[in-house]
Amino acid sequence: MAPMEKEKVVILGASDHPGRYSHMALVLLLEKGHIPLPVNPRLESIEGIKCFPHIKEIDDKVDTLTIYVNPKISDSLANEILNLGMKRVIFNPGSENESLYEPLKKRGVEVIEACTLVMLRTDQY
């Protein structure tokens, strides 16, 4: 099996609370050698990693967006999400937003409804 390539992963709805799934995903992404880019307008950093207040402030090339916010929030960020330029979006349980699926697919983005943690832990990431 080829070594896994490092991905730049935007975590929309990142949390500094260790019990939150978005926080667990950030830690596991780090452990697996990926580069997490957390987004939360209320936090300066998480686990020593700079937190972005908005998606639009990320100017790095992004591989994956993993979403942990409810559909009302992702709807309000639809333009930012669609313009991020990632290869895939993972809608974690509770974040599913069908209104974004077709616009993302039309841009060639892979849309997945899954748990990022499960994907990472079972080598399906």
CATH number at residue 31: 3.40.50.720
Query: Region 32-46: what's the mean pLDDT?
Result: 96
Give the mean pLDDT of the chain. Answer: 95
Residue 117 lies in a domain: yes
Quote the percentage of the chain above a pLDDT of 70.
Answer: 97
Residue range of the domain that includes 85 = 9-121
Residue 43 lies in a domain: yes
CB 90 within 8 A of CB 114: yes
Report the C-alpha gap between 99 and 121 in whole angstroms: 29
**pLDDT at residue number 21:** 97
Residue 17 lies in a domain: yes
Residue 1 lies in a domain: no
Residue 21 lies in a domain: yes
Report the number of distinct structural domains present in the chain.
1
Report the C-alpha gap between 73 and 78 in whole angstroms: 9
Q: pTM for the complete prediction?
A: 0.94
Is residue 88 scored above 70 in pLDDT? Answer: yes
Structure letter (DSSP) for residue 4: P
CB 21 within 8 A of CB 68: yes
Question: What is the SS3 assignment for 104?
Answer: helix
Query: Region 10-26: what's the mean pLDDT?
Result: 97
Residue 2 lies in a domain: no
Structure letter (DSSP) for residue 52: B
